[in-house]
């Protein structure tokens, strides 16, 4: 029973599943950390094929441990530049349980703010070199940060700490410092993915061996042409993906698949290969009889972001409307896709919306805004109830106002003419009136002034809540009809017409009763139709009660270690995955030479290509001049890339010029002109066209 309680307690601390990895790091002495060949004889090459899921998962673990060791060794070499903070107090945590569960609560001060997953070294002096980690009073001691709030930390220590010396550090002789070494968050998440029990292997079990007569059929551009004869007018497809036992027919209802003019405009400038990629995404959303992984090969400047963005838009707003997760190795890559989708959403809106800032889609920002809307004493429900009360019984509110004023200022009784202004007159005056301001705060407002004042103050807060709700609530929890009602109510609040009936109708919309930021964040994730995050952050979707993701789309998949791809690939109930990348580009960075030789940096995308997995090529490049694209096209794409039409135009003669390039050159030259580029302060530029050389001079 005690063992079961302790297991539950450690799970709540979020370190239970990764304890073997953390314990391994804790077991290294300082000499072990500095030994670059510690795991030289323990790391073997990761094979291309695997016999079982167990052998597949376990094949990455030695290289992962070695890479963690190399990362820590690299940090030791730059210790003098590592962020440092001073520890004020140390005391045992309520979860402290020797000999291994050495949890401590720490308060600290400094510019460095530790994050969950940080590995820190505890020293009695600020270290300038590795030898300083073995101080006169404290030998090599490291800790894992698993909780962080402001200046309060909860850490798991590699060894016992004498808390009696650090209950409240005052003397300079008993100083204690925390030095940042590295962050293990992604490594811990990968470890959990490799050691998860009962994980969803529906997608990953097809990755072990090359598929004979591969069922991963991909629509190529030439085959797609027959399906796309009505692409710009309808989305009625009857597709036969396979024949025989594994056939998958897809049919889109004519009523549900009509494409709006806005959507047709979005698709109008796609090339055939991009249309084929979007079509493949749609086909997966309608395929339920098997799990699959598809590859889209996107060399540089072939419109990957545009293709992914439109595919996500179709998956969210098209007839399928399936819950989709989009991942990428870095935040920058995630933001590029998110910005593209946000732009498409804004183009498709039936109403004007000036909320096109990318910050609106960040989960932390949305959580903060929704927390204000959900607040019981100042949020949506309170503001709405206040407006309805004011509209239904303004006399009672005015009586309370008078009573409060008398109590504060001893104002005498008002005459009977106070109530002579009718409510109808107040509302009519609001149409042309303004929010009144009093010259003296002690002056009593008339009934008309009071209603105007309250109406405007409550109305402004109510309008802010309305906009925030339809902007930040997941679309699955707020129908488009409710959004239209809110926009109508906003217009009525501005014009004050029919306010009595319309404000009361908003009672039908109820916001969730949530106050905790974590609960609000989980609510947004649970109800989101489209989620964009890094591959590492997708581990947050393993939260209990989270709605399953149907389709996973990974951008820059060829720059992602295969073991990292397993974090989202094992999400519960995941049906399909789409990997977009280019295995000819540089792979993921690996610090350890030992792990590099073991092909630890190889991506899942690259391995599947090596096994003969079919891939769809985005075959039109948009950025390079044909003479420049000739080399990469020949060396890496087997002459399969096509050059898109450029932006060149003819001048008065027969020479061509590109005004977009001229504008860029102008901006660069203008910036360089502020500095001396050589002794003469001149800037040179070269083009293969005479007009292009002349235009910047003009």
> Is the domain of 70 the same as that of 12?
yes
Q: Would residue 638 be called left, alpha or beta, if left means φ above 0 and alpha means ψ between -120 and 50 degrees? A: left
Percent of the chain scoring above 90 in pLDDT: 27
Give domain status of residue 628, yes or no.
Answer: no
pLDDT of residue 493: 63
H-assigned helices in 16-166: 19-27, 30-34, 53-58, 61-77
The pTM for the full model equals: 0.76
Task: Give residue 60's pLDDT.
Answer: 96
Q: Do residues 609 and 653 share a domain?
A: no
Structural domain includes residue 78: yes
Is residue 411, in this structure, part of any structural domain at all? yes
Same domain membership, residue 209 and residue 235: yes
Q: Are 171 and 80 in contact (CB under 8 A)?
A: no
Q: Sign of the CA dihedral 72, 75, 76, 79? A: negative
Contacts of 426 by beta carbon, 8 Å cutoff, 6+ apart: 394, 447, 448, 451, 452
Please write the tens of the pLDDT for every residue from 657-690.
Answer: 667 677 777 777 777 666 555 555 566 655 655 5
Which range has the worst mean pLDDT, 217-221, 384-388, 647-651? 217-221
| C-alpha dihedral (165, 167, 171, 173), degrees to nearest 10 | 30
- 434, 483: one domain: yes
pLDDT band at 652 (very low <50, low <70, confident <90, very high): low
Band of residue 350 on the pLDDT scale cut at 50, 70, 90: low
For residues 448 and 429, the answer to whether their CB atoms sit within 8 Å is yes
**Residue 131: band (very low, low, confident or very high) from pLDDT cuts 50, 70, 90:** confident
Q: Of 5-19, 194-208, 409-423, 444-458, give the lowest mean pLDDT range.
A: 409-423
C-alpha 526/C-alpha 512 separation (Å) is 13
Same domain, 48 and 103: yes
Rounded distance between C-alpha atoms, residue 533 and residue 325, angstroms: 8
In this structure, the strands spanning 620-621 and 642-643 are parallel
Averaged over 356-382, what is the pLDDT? 82
- Residue 689, classified by CB atoms within 10 Å of its CB into exposed (0-12), middle (13-18) or buried (19+), is middle
Between 414 and 375, the higher pLDDT residue: 375
- Give, in order, the Cα–Cα distances in Å from 596 to each of 29, 66, 70, 563, 574: 24, 10, 11, 14, 30
The CA angle 322-323-324, to the nearest 5 degrees, is 105
Please name the residues in contact with 470: beta carbons below 8 A apart, sequence gap of 6 or more: 478, 482, 483, 486, 487
DSSP character string of 298-321: --TTS-HHHHHHHHHHHHHHSSS-
* Residues 615, 577: Cα–Cα separation, whole Å: 13
Instruction: Determine contact, residues 21/187, Cβ cutoff 8 Å.
Output: yes
Report residue 417 as tokens.
Answer: 């003419």
* pLDDT attached to residue 157: 93
Confidence tier at 23 by pLDDT (50, 70, 90): very high
Please give the average per-residue pLDDT across 430-437, as a whole number. Answer: 50
Give yes or no for a contact between 453 and 433, defined as CB atoms under 8 angstroms apart. no
Cα 606 to Cα 608: distance, rounded to the nearest angstrom = 6
| Residue 453 covered by a domain | yes
Same domain, 56 and 175: yes
Q: Tell me the mean pLDDT in the region 74-101.
A: 89
* Residue ranges of E strands in 184-255: 238-240, 249-251
Average pLDDT for residues 587-591, to the nearest whole number? 93
The residue from 194, 223, 251 where one domain ends is: 194
pLDDT of residue 227: 40
Q: What is the pLDDT at residue 25?
A: 96
State residue 676's pLDDT score.
52
Residue 409 banded pLDDT, cuts 50, 70, 90: low
pLDDT given for residue 422 in this prediction? 45
- Structure-block tokens of residue 694: 């002349």
User: Are residues 139 and 228 part of one domain?
Assistant: no
Higher pLDDT, 167 or 150: 150
- Rounded CA-CA distance 221/117 in Å is 46
pLDDT score of 285 more than 60: yes
**Judgement on whether residues 322 and 390 belong to the same structural domain of the protein:** no
Question: For residue 230, what pLDDT band results from cuts at 50, 70 and 90?
Answer: very low
430 — pLDDT class (breaks 50, 70, 90): low
Query: How far is it, in rounded angstroms, from Cα 150 to Cα 156?
Result: 18
pLDDT at residue number 674: 60
How confident is residue 519, by pLDDT bands cut at 50, 70 and 90? confident
Choice between 140 and 452, residue whose per-residue pLDDT is larger: 140
What is the per-residue burial (b if ≥16 Cβ within 10 Å, else e) of 12-35? eeebebbbebbeebbebebeebee
Do 217 and 260 share a domain, yes or no? yes
Residue 120 reports pLDDT greater than 80 = yes
The most confident of 209-223, 401-415, 579-593, by mean pLDDT:
579-593
Residue that is last in its domain, among 508, 541, 566: 508
Q: Is residue 641 part of a domain?
A: no
Number of domains in the chain: 4
The pLDDT-based confidence of 71 (bands split at 50, 70, 90) is very high
Is a pLDDT exceeding 50 seen at residue 249? no
- Under the banding of pLDDT at 50, 70 and 90, the label for residue 379 is confident
Give the single-character DSSP code of 623. Answer: S
Answer yes or no: are the C-beta atoms of 327 and 535 closer than 8 Å.
yes
Domain that holds residue 75: 2-194
Residues 141-147 have a mean pLDDT of: 93
- Inform me whether the pLDDT recorded for 86 exceeds 70: yes
CATH code of the domain in which 557 resides? 3.40.50.300
State the pLDDT at residue 387. Answer: 81
Round the average pLDDT of the chain to a whole number and report it: 77
Is 349 domain-assigned? yes
Of 43-47, 161-165, 272-276, 414-418, the least confident: 414-418
* Res 279: pLDDT: 83
Considering the domain boundaries, does residue 625 fall inside one? no
Q: Are residues 43 and 105 in the same domain?
A: yes
User: Does residue 324 form part of some domain?
Assistant: yes
Element housing 532 (H / E)? strand 530-534
Q: So what's the pLDDT on residue 216? A: 46
> Rounded CA gap, 677 and 330, in Å?
35
Q: For residue 234, what are the β-bridge partners? A: 258
Band of residue 180 on the pLDDT scale cut at 50, 70, 90: very high
Q: Is the peptide bond before 91 cis (omega within 30 degrees of 0)?
A: no
Higher local confidence (pLDDT), 568 or 161: 568
**Does 163 lie in the same domain as 62?**
yes
Name the residue with higher pLDDT: 655 or 567: 567
Helices and strands, counts by H and E, the chain: 25, 18
- pLDDT of residue 34 exceeding 60: yes
Q: Answer with the residue of higher pLDDT: 310 or 478.
A: 310
Angle at 480 between CA 477 and CA 481, to 5 degrees: 105
Residues present in the chain in total = 698
- pLDDT for residue 242: 33
What would the mean pLDDT of 220-233 be, rounded to a whole number? 41
Q: How far is CA 243 from CA 248, 597, 650, in A?
A: 8, 42, 52
Of the ranges 111-115, 496-500, 618-622, which one carries the lowest mean pLDDT score? 496-500
Residues 546 and 468 in one domain: no
Among the candidates 139, 168, 194, a domain finishes at 194
pLDDT at 236 over 50: no
Helix segments in 328-362, DSSP class H: 331-348
């Amino acid at each position: 029973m005690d063992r079961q309680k302790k297991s539950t307690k450690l799970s709540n601390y979020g370190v239970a599943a990764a304890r073997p990895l953390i314990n391994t790091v804790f077991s290294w002495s300082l000499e072990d950390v500095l030994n670059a060949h510690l795991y030289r004889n323990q790391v073997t090459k990761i094979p291309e094929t695997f016999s079982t899921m167990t052998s597949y998962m376990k094949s990455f673990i030695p290289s992962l441990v070695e890479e963690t060791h190399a990362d820590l060794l690299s940090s030791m070499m730059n210790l003098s530049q590592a962020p440092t903070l001073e520890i004020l107090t140390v005391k045992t945590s309520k979860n402290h349980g020797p000999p291994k569960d050495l949890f401590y609560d720490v308060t600290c001060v400094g510019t460095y703010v530790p994050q969950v997953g940080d590995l820190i070294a505890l020293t009695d002096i600020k270290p300038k070199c590795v030898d300083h980690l073995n101080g006169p009073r404290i030998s090599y001691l490291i800790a894992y940060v698993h909780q962080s709030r402001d200046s309060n930390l909860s850490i798991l220590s590699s060894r016992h700490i004498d808390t009696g010396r650090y209950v409240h550090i005052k003397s300079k002789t008993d100083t204690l410092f925390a030095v940042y070494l590295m962050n293990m968050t992604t490594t811990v998440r990968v470890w959990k993915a490799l050691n998860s029990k009962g994980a969803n292997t529906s997608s990953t079990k097809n990755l072990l061996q090359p598929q004979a007569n591969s069922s991963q059929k991909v629509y190529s551009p030439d085959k797609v042409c027959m399906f796309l004869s009505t692409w710009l007018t309808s989305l009625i497809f009857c597709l036969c993906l396979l024949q025989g036992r594994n056939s998958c027919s897809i049919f889109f209802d004519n009523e549900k698949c009509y494409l709006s003019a806005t959507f047709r405009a979005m698709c109008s400038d796609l090339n055939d290969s991009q249309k084929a990629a979007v079509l493949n995404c749609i086909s997966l959303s309608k395929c339920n009889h098997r799990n699959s992984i598809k590859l889209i090969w996107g060399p540089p400047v072939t419109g990957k972001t545009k293709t992914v963005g439109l595919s996500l838009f179709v998956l969210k707003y098209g007839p399928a409307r399936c819950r989709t997760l989009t991942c990428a190795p870095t935040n920058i890559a995630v933001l590029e896709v998110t910005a593209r989708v946000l732009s498409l959403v804004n183009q498709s809106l039936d109403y004007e919306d000036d909320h096109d800032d990318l910050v609106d889609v960040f989960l932390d920002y949305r959580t903060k805004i929704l927390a204000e809307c959900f607040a019981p004493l100042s949020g949506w429900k309170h503001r709405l109830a206040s407006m309805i009360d004011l509209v239904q019984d303004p006399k009672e509110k005015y009586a309370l106002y008078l009573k409060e004023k008398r109590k504060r200022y001893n104002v005498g009784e008002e005459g009977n003419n106070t109530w002579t202004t009718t409510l109808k007159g107040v509302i009519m005056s609001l149409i042309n009136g303004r929010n009144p301001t009093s010259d003296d705060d002690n002056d009593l407002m008339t009934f008309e002034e009071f209603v105007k004042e309250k109406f405007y103050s409550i109305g402004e807060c109510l309008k802010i809540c309305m906009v925030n709700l339809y902007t930040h609530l997941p679309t699955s929890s707020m129908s488009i009809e409710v959004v239209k009602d809110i926009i109508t109510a906003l217009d009525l609040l501005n014009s004050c017409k029919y306010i009595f009936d319309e404000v009361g109708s908003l009672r039908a919309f109820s916001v969730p009763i949530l106050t905790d930021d974590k609960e609000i964040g989980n609510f947004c994730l649970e109800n989101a139709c489209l989620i964009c995050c890094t591959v590492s952050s997708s581990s947050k979707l393993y939260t209990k009660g989270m709605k399953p993701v149907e389709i996973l789309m990974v951008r820059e998949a060829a720059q992602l270690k295969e073991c990292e791809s397993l974090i989202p690939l094992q999400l519960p109930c995941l049906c399909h995955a789409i990997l977009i990348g280019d295995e000819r580009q540089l792979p993921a960075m690996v610090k350890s030479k030992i792990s590099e030789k073991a092909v630890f940096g190889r991506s899942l995308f690259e391995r599947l290509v090596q096994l003969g997995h079919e891939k769809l090529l985005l075959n039109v490049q948009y950025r390079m001049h044909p003479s420049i694209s000739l080399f990469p096209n020949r060396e890496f794409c087997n002459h399969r890339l096509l050059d898109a039409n450029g932006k060149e135009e003819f001048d008065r003669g027969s020479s061509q010029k590109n005004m977009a390039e001229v504008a860029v050159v102008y901006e660069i030259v203008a910036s360089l002109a502020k500095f001396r580029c050589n002794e003469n302060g001149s800037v040179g530029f070269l083009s293969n066209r005479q007009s292009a050389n002349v235009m910047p001079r003009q």
